[in-house]
């Protein structure tokens, strides 16, 4: 196959030369972020939380074990593109059905390889996540497109990834209604071990949820700015105290906002499978999988929730327990996919909360 020369241009004018991979695209735009996972690239790419973003993998060699449909976290990827240093020309794994390059092409996701991802990561780390554009167009056209890209602030990306119709998953003993703000398949598999899950659209009212008579309500992960999803906050406010609630990632942020808390954008977000988080009650440190750009301000939750987990890299809020309602949440991903399984006990905690009201 002939090499398709391409370039990545950031909104600050930084230029990176490479070659186009995946789906053909003259110009692809989005908010450029970096992820530090060593494996699990397929799960990352198919995570709906990356809607509106271009994913940079810091690990230099990507694609060596190919892809398999069973590892998808959603029915289709929602990211805007993929950036890698070295794309494996051959893949080797007994589970693989196709290469990463072929998967990207089939799913309509453009990419760019041969990029100096160490330099790119330093730029993003020092200046923060920023808009960018890549493709086979001229550098001037790419720069104009990068500067015209809105990014993710203030945009309701949840509406672009949520299911249109309710559906069921699993057959566990409890009944759980799960809000789909961009829910991952691995989360559904973990919930299915303890519950029959009814997945509902993000816009579902609290009255509709309660009419389903659930034992618990789950608030899923998802993309973008929690301040842009006020309808979800309104529903959560009406659910608190009526039914046990468990939130992950965006669900954590929305639960915090439902309590009157505030959220802010992190400089370059947390994206990776190796973030240390301390469980405050025990002092134990969990290595966690993370993918978020926004964070809850713990001071805004004073008197309403207690902080249960703390990020040891930057001391940001990673978990809370609501004081006057059976509800808790974490900022990171206990289901992993990809990442370590140190925190899967939180699903057992949700099980106990629904069973007898204990944490």
- Residues 114-157 have pLDDT tens digits of 999 999 999 999 999 899 999 999 999 999 999 999 999 999 99
| 103 and 244 both lie in a single domain | no
pLDDT score recorded for residue 40: 96
pLDDT score recorded for residue 1: 59
Let me know if residue 93 belongs to a domain: yes
Q: How far apart (Å, rounded) are the C-alpha atoms in residues 327 and 247?
A: 8
Q: How many CB atoms lie within 10 A of CB 12?
A: 13
Are 6 and 98 in contact, with CB atoms under 8 Å apart?
no
Let me know if residue 82 belongs to a domain: yes
| 106 and 199 both lie in a single domain | no
Q: Which residues are part of the catalytic machinery? A: 249, 333, 335
Domain of 52: which CATH number?
3.50.30.20
**Count helices and strands in the chain by DSSP H and E runs:** 10, 19
| 228 and 287 both lie in a single domain | yes
| 132 and 171 both lie in a single domain | no
Let me know if residue 223 belongs to a domain: yes
pLDDT score recorded for residue 122: 97
Domain of 289: which CATH number?
3.40.50.880
Let me know if residue 285 belongs to a domain: yes
Of the candidates 88, 113, 148, which is a domain's last residue?
148
| 122 and 181 both lie in a single domain | no
Query: What b/e readout covers 249-272, taking b as 16+ CB neighbours within 10 angstroms?
Result: bbbbbbbbbbbebebebeebbbbb
Let me know if residue 316 belongs to a domain: yes
Q: How far apart (Å, rounded) are the C-alpha atoms in residues 179 and 151?
A: 24
Let me know if residue 53 belongs to a domain: yes
pLDDT along the chain (359 residues), means of 10: 89 97 96 96 98 98 97 97 96 96 97 98 94 97 97 96 98 96 98 98 98 98 97 98 98 98 96 96 97 96 96 97 97 93 96 90
- Which 3 state secondary structure label does DSSP give 10? strand
Of the candidates 116, 148, 180, which is a domain's last residue?
148
The answer to whether the peptide bond before residue 338 is cis (omega within 30 degrees of 0) is yes
Whether the predicted model's global pTM rises above the 0.85 cut:
yes
| 123 and 162 both lie in a single domain | no
| 67 and 127 both lie in a single domain | yes
Q: How far apart (Å, rounded) are the C-alpha atoms in residues 292 and 51?
A: 11
Let me know if residue 153 belongs to a domain: no
Q: How many domains does the chain have?
A: 2
| 112 and 189 both lie in a single domain | no
Which residues, including other chains, have CB under 8 Å from residue 358's CB and lie 6 or more apart?
352
Residue 46 structural domain: 5-148
| 262 and 312 both lie in a single domain | yes
Q: How far apart (Å, rounded) are the C-alpha atoms in residues 297 and 253?
A: 9
Q: How many CB atoms lie within 10 A of CB 276?
A: 14
| 62 and 81 both lie in a single domain | yes
Nearest to 288 by CA among 31, 32, 34, 36: 36
| 182 and 271 both lie in a single domain | yes
Let me know if residue 305 belongs to a domain: yes
| 259 and 339 both lie in a single domain | yes
Of the candidates 106, 130, 148, which is a domain's last residue?
148
Phi, psi of 110 (to 5 degrees): -80, 160
Are 157 and 50 in contact, with CB atoms under 8 Å apart?
no
């Amino acid at each position: 196959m002939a090499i398709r020369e391409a370039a990545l241009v950031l909104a600050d004018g930084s230029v990176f030369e490479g070659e186009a991979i995946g789906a053909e695209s003259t110009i692809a735009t989005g908010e450029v972020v970096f992820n530090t996972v060593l494996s699990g690239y397929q799960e990352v790419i198919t995570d709906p939380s990356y809607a509106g973003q271009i994913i940079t993998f810091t690990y230099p060699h990507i694609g060596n074990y190919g892809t398999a449909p069973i590892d998808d976290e959603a029915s289709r990827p929602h990211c805007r593109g993929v950036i890698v240093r070295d794309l494996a020309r051959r893949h080797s794994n007994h589970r693989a059905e196709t290469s990463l390059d072929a998967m990207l092409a089939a799913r309509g996701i453009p990419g760019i390889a041969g990029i100096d991802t160490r330099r790119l990561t330093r730029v993003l780390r020092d200046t923060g996540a920023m808009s960018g554009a890549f493709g086979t167009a001229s550098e001037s056209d790419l720069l104009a497109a990068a500067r015209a890209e809105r990014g993710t602030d203030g945009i309701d990306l949840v509406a672009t990834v949520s299911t249109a119709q309710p559906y069921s998953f699993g057959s566990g003993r409890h009944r759980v209604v799960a809000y789909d703000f961009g829910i991952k398949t691995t989360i559904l598999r973990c919930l299915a071990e303890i519950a029959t899950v009814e997945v509902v659209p993000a816009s579902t009212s609290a009255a509709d949820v309660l009419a389903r008579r659930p034992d618990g309500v789950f608030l899923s992960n998802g993309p973008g700015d929690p301040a842009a999803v006020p309808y979800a906050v309104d529903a959560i406010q009406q659910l608190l105290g009526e039914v046990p609630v468990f939130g992950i990632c965006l669900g954590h942020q929305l639960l915090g906002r439902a309590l009157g808390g505030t959220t802010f954008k992190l400089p370059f977000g947390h994206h990776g499978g190796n973030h240390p988080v301390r469980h405050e009650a025990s002092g134990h440190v969990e290595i966690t999988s993370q993918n978020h750009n926004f964070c809850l301000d713990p001071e805004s939750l004073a008197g309403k929730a207690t902080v249960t987990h703390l990020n040891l890299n930057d001391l940001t809020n990673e978990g809370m327990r609501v004081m006057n309602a059976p509800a808790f949440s974490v900022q990171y991903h206990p289901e992993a996919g990809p990442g370590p399984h140190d925190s899967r006990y939180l699903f057992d905690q949700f099980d106990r909360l629904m069973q007898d009201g204990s944490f």
